[in-house]
C-alpha cells in the first residue's frame, strides 16, 4: 500500500467519523426540543398583539390554536409577550438584521419561547433563521389609502404582477406608512424605489389604519386580514388601492433546533383542519377571509 493512498484512506475514515458523530449530535439536539418542552411542562407562545391573531385580551386565532396544541402535547400553555423587533431573537436566540432576503447575525440573545404564532408571514429572510410550519393562513399586502385620497383603486387586470405595478405606479411622492422588521416593512416591497415617501410607524400594526385616517400619511400597507378588519371597522374612511405583494402565506415559526416540535405541530394542524377545528376558529376570528379564500381553508 502506497503511503499517499494510505493517507487519503485515513482522511476519509476521519471525515466519515466526524460526519457520523455530528449527525448523532445533531440528532440528539433535534430530539431534545420536544422532550425539553415536555420535561419543562410548558409550551411558551411568543406573541405580539396583532389583528385577530393575538388580540391582546387573552384570545385570538393563534392563541386558541396554540392552547389546543399545548393541550395536545399535555403541557401547560404559557404566553410570552414580545415585540415585532425581538420576536425572531426570542425564538432563535440570535439577534438578526434582515438584508433583503438574507440576514446578518448581530449576536446572541436569550431564548424566551418555543413557538411564534402571531400572523407571521413566511418571508425568505425569516426562513434563514427559523423554520415555518405548513402554511396556516393566506395573506397579501395591500395598499390602503384614506377615502379622500386622490389615488384610485386599480381595476384588476387578472395578472398580479401588473396589478402590483399599477399600484406602485401611483406611489410616487405619496406618503406611505410601514413598520420595520415586520411583513409590512416597506423595504420588503421596494416602495422607496418607486418614489414613495416611506414613513416607518412606531405604533402597533393594529394602529396603522387609524394613523392613515388621522392623516399621519396618505396610505399604508396592510396585511389582507388586517385590511379586512380595518374595512369593517372604518367603512367609508379607507379604501383598498391594490396589492403591493403577490399572495403570501402565514405560518407558525419554530427554532431550527426544534424539528420534532414543528413536525408534531404540522400533524396536529392537519388533524385540526380535518376535524373542522381550524375552520371553526377561522369563522370565529376571520369570517371575511374565509369567504375570500374558501379554497384555502377547505379540507385538503
Partner 1 sequence: MRSVWTLPKRRNFALVVVSVALVTYIGFLLGANYLSQLELQESALEQLRQDTEKRATAVSYFYSERKNDLKDLAASREISIFFENKALGMSMEYGLRASLFGIAQSFERLLEDRKLDEDRIYTRIVFVDSDGKLLIDSQPINAKRGHEWDWKKFLAPESLAATIIAKHDRGRSRVMVSIPYFFKNKYTGQIIAWISAQTLYNHLVKVAGASSKRSVFIISGKDQFHFPADVESEAAFSGLSDLGNIEIGKTHRFEAVRKDGAKVNMLAVRVPVNDTPFSLVTVLPVTEVFGRAAPQHLLLAMGVLALILLSGTAIVLRINTQNLVLHARLKEASGRKREIEEKNQQLEKEIAERKRAEDLLKRTHDELERRVEQRTAELAKANKELRIEITERKRVEEALRESEERHRLLLESSPDPIVVYDMEGKATYINPAFVQTFGWSRDEFLGNRIDFVPEKNWPETKAAMGMLRGEKVESFETKCFTKDEKLLDIHLSSSIFKGKDGQPAGNIVVLRDITETKRLEAQLHHAQKMEAIGTLAGGVAHDLNNVLSGLVSYPDLLLMEIPEYSPLRKPILTIQQSGERAAAIVQDLLTLARRGAAITDVINLNDIISDYFKTPEHIKLEALHPHVQFEMNLEKNLLNILGSPVHLSKTIMNLVSNAAEAIPYGGKVFISTTNRYIDCPIKGYDDVQEGDYVVLSVSDTGIGISPDDLKKIFEPFYTKKVMGRSGTGLGMAVVWGTVKDHKGYIDVISTEGKGTRFELYFPVTRQEPVDKQTSVSIEHYMGSETILVVDDVEEQRQIASQMLSKLGYSVRAVSSGEEAVEYMKNNPVDLLVLDMIMDPGIDGLDTYKRILEFHPGQKAIIVSGFSETERVKEAQRLGAGAYVKKPYILEKIGLHVRTELDK
Interface residues with partner 1 (CB under 8 A) are: 142, 147, 152-156, 163, 227-228, 231-232, 235-236, 239-243, 287-288, 291-292
CB of 203 to partner 1, least distance (A): 23
**In the complex with partner 1, which residue's Cβ is closer, 77 or 234?**
234
DSSP designation for 280: H
69/142 with CB nearer partner 1: 142
Smallest gap from residue 174 Cβ to partner 1 (A): 16
In the complex with partner 1, which residue's Cβ is closer, 63 or 177? 177
| Nearest distance from C-beta of residue 287 to partner 1, angstroms | 7
- Please give the Cα distance from 205 to 184 (Å, whole number): 8
CB of 48 to partner 1, least distance (A): 24
Give CA separation, 233 vs 18, 135, 238, in Å.
59, 27, 10
Task: Give the relative orientation of helices 259-274 and 3-40 as an angle to the nearest 10 degrees.
Answer: 50
Question: Rounded to whole angstroms, how far apart are CA atoms 263 and 205?
Answer: 30
123 or 288: whose CB is closer to partner 1?
288
Q: Which is nearer to partner 1, 260 or 283 (CB)?
A: 283
- Contacts of 234-238 with CB under 8 Å at 24 or more apart are 234/209, 234/210, 236/147, 237/146, 237/147, 237/213, 238/144, 238/145, 238/146, 238/147, 238/209, 238/212, 238/213
| Nearest approach, Cβ of residue 209 and partner 1 (Å) | 12
Amino acid at each position: 500500500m502506497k503511503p499517499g493512498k494510505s493517507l487519503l484512506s485515513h482522511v476519509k475514515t476521519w471525515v466519515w467519523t466526524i460526519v457520523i458523530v455530528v449527525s448523532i449530535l445533531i440528532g440528539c439536539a433535534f430530539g431534545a426540543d420536544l422532550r425539553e418542552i415536555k420535561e419543562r411542562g410548558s409550551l411558551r407562545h411568543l406573541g405580539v398583539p396583532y389583528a385577530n391573531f393575538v388580540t391582546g385580551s387573552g384570545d385570538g386565532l393563534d392563541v386558541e390554536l396554540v392552547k389546543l396544541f399545548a393541550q395536545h402535547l399535555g403541557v401547560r400553555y404559557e404566553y410570552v409577550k414580545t415585540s415585532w423587533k425581538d420576536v425572531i431573537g426570542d425564538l432563535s436566540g440570535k439577534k438578526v438584521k434582515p438584508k433583503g432576503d438574507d440576514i446578518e447575525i448581530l449576536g446572541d440573545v436569550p431564548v424566551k419561547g418555543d413557538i411564534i404564532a402571531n400572523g407571521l408571514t413566511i418571508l425568505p429572510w425569516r426562513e434563514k433563521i427559523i423554520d415555518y410550519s405548513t402554511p396556516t393562513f393566506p395573506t397579501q399586502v395591500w395598499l390602503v389609502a384614506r377615502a379622500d385620497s386622490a389615488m384610485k383603486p386599480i381595476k384588476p387586470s387578472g395578472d398580479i404582477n401588473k396589478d402590483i405595478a399599477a399600484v406602485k405606479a401611483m406611489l410616487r411622492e405619496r406618503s406611505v406608512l410601514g413598520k420595520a422588521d415586520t411583513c409590512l416593512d416597506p423595504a420588503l416591497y421596494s416602495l422607496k424605489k418607486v418614489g414613495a415617501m416611506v414613513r416607518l410607524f412606531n405604533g402597533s400594526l393594529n394602529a396603522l389604519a387609524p394613523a392613515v385616517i388621522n392623516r399621519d400619511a396618505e396610505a399604508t400597507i396592510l396585511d389582507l386580514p388586517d385590511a379586512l378588519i380595518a374595512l369593517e371597522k372604518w367603512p367609508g374612511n379607507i379604501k383598498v388601492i391594490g396589492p403591493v405583494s403577490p399572495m403570501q402565506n402565514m405560518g407558525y415559526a419554530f427554532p431550527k433546533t426544534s424539528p420534532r416540535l414543528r413536525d408534531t405541530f404540522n400533524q396536529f394542524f392537519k388533524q385540526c383542519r380535518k376535524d373542522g377545528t381550524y375552520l371553526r376558529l377561522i369563522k370565529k376570528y376571520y369570517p371575511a377571509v374565509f369567504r375570500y379564500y374558501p379554497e384555502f381553508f377547505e379540507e385538503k
